[in-house]
Chain A
């Protein structure tokens, strides 16, 4: 039978709140690492050089093709056999971040591909190097496109981070399980944990909305000129065609 007093008691459990803090911190750290890995891998994937393209493909293939739980266990208990011993927090951040990076690589790559080819050509015509083209012209535009799916990824990562409990990280879900073992209030305590996750993901939703709004502002002011430039270009092209 549902016990409201247990539910309300655990709703403001400092132990679980601290666990939620650990989950949030872990997710942020893993996401930052994932973004770095994802950006590098995306650029390597877009490269015409096989020396860059193939390793990136291999990384994405392995990371997306194997369970993140297995990856965490390999990092935590397998690497020490090769003399690489990482602490539980480092192992969790690296495991989650490197795995997330593979998914982010594809999202970022899709965002870059979505930028009109004309932008690349225009930047080239202005004498920008490939790196400056990417940094100053393409990536800023791609960023606006990829924010929603990356935001979605972070939302998922906050829940996926619970897998780190397998390597003994004392995050929200592990703390939930610890309380359940002693008190047996399974439904009540899991519901509290679910609410904490909901709070975290809802707060992130607000942040994501703010980011999207900020990025869209630049486009709202630029749009008319951009549209005009596009119109001029189209006119010039049609004139040439005649």
Chain B
């Protein structure tokens, strides 16, 4: 009897003596609509450093990871990133196997017509060329009749296609566009001289430069600011995420996530958006990280 009393007292003391231990957080979303109880599942394609990539230890890291983790924490959920190809993200979302896409997905009206999108950030494009090319380049029109590397599935392709169509209309040769799976593949093609130039994300160009990939010249930065968005299927989940993002913006924590990456944060409010949106005011020049 005495032993039982001592044990119970010990347990009580343990509870009282550790006020620093946080109380259990009640998840703000249930299953359903979540795909898995207690978890926020997000699709990510970690091939775009420094926004989302895999470090040397095999961990998925980057801005989108920090953002996702912060959102999950606010919702009292655990975060689970699923590394998946872009083409499978939308089917996974529509089937309810994941809750959101947190993968540097550019906002377009066509995409917003199919899934619920919350624009949150913006980035710009840079044009890179071989170091031996010292020409002044003002846009992709320079590559009329030349080869131009692009990452598949990005607004880079749309921008290049628009520029090429305009060139053809003006009676000039089109841009010979070459699409690759990732920016790394695009840069590899540039280093091999297989393309005369390429569109790379502005942040990515500085990232690669910082990692010693110094074979190219940055001819232009800050081209065509475009918004990125989180994507959802369920409006309850989308609204809950939008709410916490607005809270984070109000208390400054959202800005603290973005600043180290030098990535543009849209001013908010953050909400499910459809149709055309104005070009974001985003001037990326120098990588601050």
> Which residue numbers of A lie inside 8 Å of B, CB to CB?
1, 73, 76-78, 80-81, 85, 88, 165-168, 170, 174, 177-178, 180-184, 186-187, 190
Any chain A CB within 8 A of the CB of B157?
yes
Within 8 A of A (CB), among B137-156: 149, 152-154
- Set of chain A residues within 8 Å of B154, measured between Cβ atoms: 181
Bound Cα distance A1, B95 (Å): 9
- Set of chain A residues within 8 Å of B108, measured between Cβ atoms: 182
Q: A85-B194, A88-B178, A181-B157 are in contact. Are A186 and B189 (CB under 8 A)?
A: no
> Is A184 touching B110 in the complex (CB atoms < 8 A)?
yes
CB distance from A22 to the nearest CB of B (A): 14
Q: A1-B94, A76-B194, A181-B86 are in contact. List 14 more A-B contacts (CB 8 A).
A: A76-B192, A77-B189, A77-B194, A78-B192, A80-B194, A85-B194, A165-B181, A168-B180, A168-B189, A181-B154, A183-B110, A184-B111, A186-B90, A186-B91
0/1 per residue, B156-172, Cβ < 8 Å to A?
01100000000000000
A170, A178, A181 pick with most chain B CB within 10 angstroms: A181
Q: A85-B194, A174-B152 are in contact. Are A166 and B87 (CB under 8 A)?
A: no
**A85, A168, A180, A186: which contacts B179 (Cβ < 8 A)?**
A168
- Set of chain A residues within 8 Å of B111, measured between Cβ atoms: 184
CB distance from A181 to the nearest CB of B (A): 4
CB distance from B13 to the nearest CB of A (A): 58
**A88, A165, A178: which contacts B157 (Cβ < 8 A)?**
A178
> Binding site of A, secondary structure by majority: helix, strand, loop or mixed?
helix
> Which residue numbers of B lie inside 8 Å of A, CB to CB?
86-88, 90-91, 94, 108, 110-111, 114-115, 149, 152-154, 157-158, 178-181, 185, 188-189, 191-194
- Set of chain B residues within 8 Å of A182, measured between Cβ atoms: 108, 110, 158
Bound Cα distance A88, B149 (Å): 12
- Set of chain A residues within 8 Å of B86, measured between Cβ atoms: 181
CB distance from A84 to the nearest CB of B (A): 10
Q: A177-B152, A184-B114 are in contact. Are A81 and B192 (CB under 8 A)?
A: yes
Bound Cα distance A165, B88 (Å): 18
